[in-house]
Structure 1
Amino acid sequence: MIKAYAAHEPGGQLQPFEYDPGTLGDEEVEIKVEYCGICHSDLSMLDNEWGMTDYPFVPGHEVVGTIAALGDKVTTLNLGQRVGLGWFSGSCMTCEWCMSGNHNLCSNAEGTIVSRHGGFADKVRADYSWVVPLPDGINPATAGPLFCGGITVFNPIVQFDIKPSDRVGVIGIGGLGHIALGFLQAWGCEITAFSSSPDKEAEARELGATHFINSGDVNALESVQNSFDFILATANADLDWNAYIAALRPKGRLHFVGVIPNPLSTPIFPLILGQKSISASPVGSPATISQMINFAARQGVEPITETFSFEQVNEAMEKLRHGKPRYRLVLKHS
C-alpha cells in the first residue's frame, strides 16, 4: 500500500490516504519519495480550476527520491538511485512528437497528478522514460522545484536558442522568475528584472539581474523601448503587454510561461514592422530536463525554498494560497 495525502473534494483539506497501486508495469519505476515541491498547479488541481481533477486527489509533481522498484524491462535506472520526476509521468512513445524528442507535446502524455496519484506520498510511480537521474552536485532538498518550475523557464532558453550576447527581460520575480534569473545569468545574458515590487530590486540583482525596472512606472517602461531580444513573462497577471512588445528589438520575442487571466489583445502592426513574435511553452522533454538538471548542478543554480514536513502539508498549501512563499515550498519526509 502507498501512504499519501489526498483531498476528497475541491479545495478540501489533505488527509492521510492509502491506496493499492497494483502490479508494477514492465516499464514503470516506483520512487521512494524524499522531497516533493509544491507548485501552484497543485493548488489549481486541488481546486479543480481546470475541470480535470479526479477525487480523491493526491497532489505533487516535483518529486525527488530514490528508486525502490523497477519494472522488468527497465534497464537504464538502478535500485537506490536518486532521481526526479516532474509534471509528466509518461507519454505514448510512438507519435511524431515523442519520436522527434518532443515528448512534452505528446497529446497522450500522462500528467503525474492528472487521473493518477502524485508525490504527496511515501511512494509514487512513473514510466521510466520520464524519471531523470540527479547528478552529483545537486542538492536533493531543493531540486524538486526544478522539475516543474525550473524546466518551465529553462525550456524556452533552449527552444529559442537564447545566446549569451542576448539582452533578456524577466517579468515577475517569484517562484518561476527567480529561477529564470539564475539560469540566464549562468547562460551569460544581460538580464533586466521587471517587477511591480520595488523592494525586490536588491534581491533580484543578487539572483542575477543586471538591471531592475519597476513595472508600475510607465516612464521606466518607455525608457527601454527597442531594447530586448527576448522577454520571458512568468507573472500570472494582466499587464500592459503592448509596452513590453514595444520594448522588444526587431525579431524580438515575448514569451509566456505564466498563465495570465485574460486573453491577449494587441495591435498586429508593431509585430509586423519589427518582425516580432508572441509565444508560449509548457515544461520540457525528458532530454531537456536532463540537460537542465546537469546545467544547474554544474553552474550552481538552486531554487530558494522553504521546507515543511509532510505532516504540515495543509499549512504549506495555505501559505501558497494566501501567503508569500520565498520562493518555492518543499515537503520533506521526516
Structure 2
Amino acid sequence: MDGETRTYLAGTPSGALERQTATIELGALEVLIRITHSGVCGTDAHDRTASCGLGHEGVGVIHRMECISGYRQYCHKSVGQKYGAEDHGTFCDYAIRHQDFVNPIPDGLPSKYAAPLVCAGITVYEALQAAEVKSSDRVGVVGLGGLGHIALLYAKAMGCDVSVFSASEKKWEDALALGANEFHVLNTTGKASEPLDVYSKVNVLLLCGGAITDYGILLPLLARRARVVPVIIQTKDITVPYMPFILPGMKIIFSLGATRENEQNALKFADRHKIRPWIQEYPMTVDGLNSAFAGLDDGSMRYRAVLSKELGNEFSV
C-alpha cells in the first residue's frame, strides 16, 4: 500500500459528504490498518463542514508495519519525528497511524462494540480514574446519551451504585436496563420551581450531557467532599458558588482524553467485564453516515452509531 491510493469520507463546507482519495506512504514508525468498523462521535457531526476526513473511533486489522525488531534508530526509513502528516479519519478503507497511537483490541471484545470505546469509553474511564473512584462510592451521571450510558456501564462494573440525572423522563427505562440504581429528572437550566429530591447523594459526579454553566444546580446532588468531573466540551464559561463548594470540601476535576496506559486498561476492563455499549449499526457509506448523523441530530440515537463494512461499504478492501 506504500504510495497507493486510499479512499475516505470527508466533510465539505456545505455539510455534504464526499468520497475522496489520497496517497500516503507508510512511515518507519507507522502501521497500516484495514478498517472494519468506526464509531460515529458527536465531534464528527461538528466537523462535517470542516473539509477534513471524518472519524476517530476506528477499529480494524493491522495490514502492514515497519521496524518490528524495535531497533528504530537503525531503520533505513528513519527520518525522526514526523510532523504535519495528513490524517484522513477512520471512515475509510485503510488508515495509517503512528505506532504509539494504536492499541490492541482484546480478543473477547467484538470490534463493533470496541469502536465507541476507543473514544467515549476511554474518556469516561479516565474521568473515573481521575476522580479516584472506589467501589464504595455512589457515582452520578448527568446526561444519558452516547457518553453517559457508557459511563454508567463502567461505573457499575467497578462495583459502584449509580444515579442517573437526565433532562428526559423518557430515559428512565433505559437507565434501569443499563443498571442504574436511581433515576432523576434534572432541569439543567436552573429554573426548576422545586428542589430536586435526591435519595442518595453522590460521591463522584460525571457531567456527560449538554453544557451546564451554573454549577449551583449540582449542589443538591453532592455528598460532602464530592468530586465533579466534566467530560464534555463546551465553549461557555461556568459559574461556581464559592463558599458552598469550599466548605464541604468539593472538588472539580477536569479530565480530557486518556493516558496511553488508561486507553489500554479501559479496553481490557471492558473485555473482562463484558461491557457492551448500546449501538446502532450502519453501512460504511455516504448514506450510512448521513443516517447516523440524522439520528444524532434529532436525538433518536440509542446510543452510539457504528459504521460497519459488514453491512456494506464504498471502498476497495
**TM-score, length of structure 2 as denominator length:** 0.85
**Corresponding residue for residue 34 of structure 2:** 32
Between the aligned partners of 1:218 and 1:27, the Cα distance in structure 2 is 58
Between the aligned partners of 2:65 and 2:193, the Cα distance in structure 1 is 56
Residue 46 (structure 1) aligned to one of 38, 45, 48: 48
**Corresponding residue for residue 12 of structure 1:** 15
Between the aligned partners of 1:277 and 1:141, the Cα distance in structure 2 is 36
Between the aligned partners of 1:189 and 1:323, the Cα distance in structure 2 is 28
**Aligned pairs for 1:202-241 within 5 A:** 202-216=173-187, 219=194, 221-223=196-198, 227-238=201-212, 241=215
SS in 2 for 1:148: helix
Letter of the 1:273 partner, please give it.
L
Q: Cα offset for 1:318? A: 2.8
**What 5-or-longer segments of structure 2 have no aligned partner?**
72-79, 313-317
Between the aligned partners of 2:306 and 2:101, the Cα distance in structure 1 is 21
Residue 321 (structure 1) aligned to one of 297, 311, 315: 297
**Corresponding residue for residue 60 of structure 1:** 55
Going from structure 1 to structure 2, the CA distance change for 1:279 and 1:161 (only over 3 Å counts) comes to closer
Q: Judge conservation of contact 1:245–1:254 (CA < 8 Å) in 2.
A: no
Letter of the 1:295 partner, please give it.
F
**Aligned pairs for 1:121-160 within 5 A:** 121-160=92-131
Letter of the 1:156 partner, please give it.
A
Q: Cα offset for 1:132? A: 0.8
Q: Judge conservation of contact 2:213–2:238 (CA < 8 Å) in 1.
A: no
Letter of the 2:245 partner, please give it.
L
When structure 1 is superposed on structure 2, of 256-265 and 158-167 the one drifting more is 256-265
Give the alignment's Cα RMSD to 1 decimal: 2.4
Letter of the 2:56 partner, please give it.
H
User: Cα deviation per residue 1:195-247 (whole Å; 9 max; x = unaligned)?
Assistant: 1111211210111211111113664625458x221100001233652131342
Between the aligned partners of 1:167 and 1:261, the Cα distance in structure 2 is 29
Pair 1:277 & 2:251 matched: yes
SS in 1 for 2:7: strand
Letter of the 1:325 partner, please give it.
M
Q: Cα offset for 1:47? A: 3.4
Between the aligned partners of 1:27 and 1:74, the Cα distance in structure 2 is 11
Letter of the 1:13 partner, please give it.
A
User: Cα deviation per residue 1:39-64 (whole Å; 9 max; x = unaligned)?
Assistant: 0111222234xxxxxx3x11010011
**TM-score, length of structure 1 as denominator length:** 0.81
Q: Judge conservation of contact 2:142–2:207 (CA < 8 Å) in 1.
A: yes
How much identity, in percent, do the aligned residues show? 30
Q: Judge conservation of contact 1:222–1:243 (CA < 8 Å) in 2.
A: no
**What 5-or-longer segments of structure 1 have no aligned partner?**
49-54, 77-91, 94-107
Q: Cα offset for 1:254? A: 1.3
Between the aligned partners of 1:322 and 1:196, the Cα distance in structure 2 is 15
Pair 1:72 & 2:67 matched: yes
When structure 1 is superposed on structure 2, of 143-152 and 260-269 the one drifting more is 260-269
Q: Cα offset for 1:67? A: 0.2
SS in 2 for 1:150: helix
Query: Which of structures 1 and 2 has the bigger CA Rg?
Result: 2
Work out the number of aligned pairs and report it: 292
Q: Cα offset for 1:323? A: 4.3
Going from structure 1 to structure 2, the CA distance change for 1:47 and 1:280 (only over 3 Å counts) comes to farther
Between the aligned partners of 1:61 and 1:223, the Cα distance in structure 2 is 37
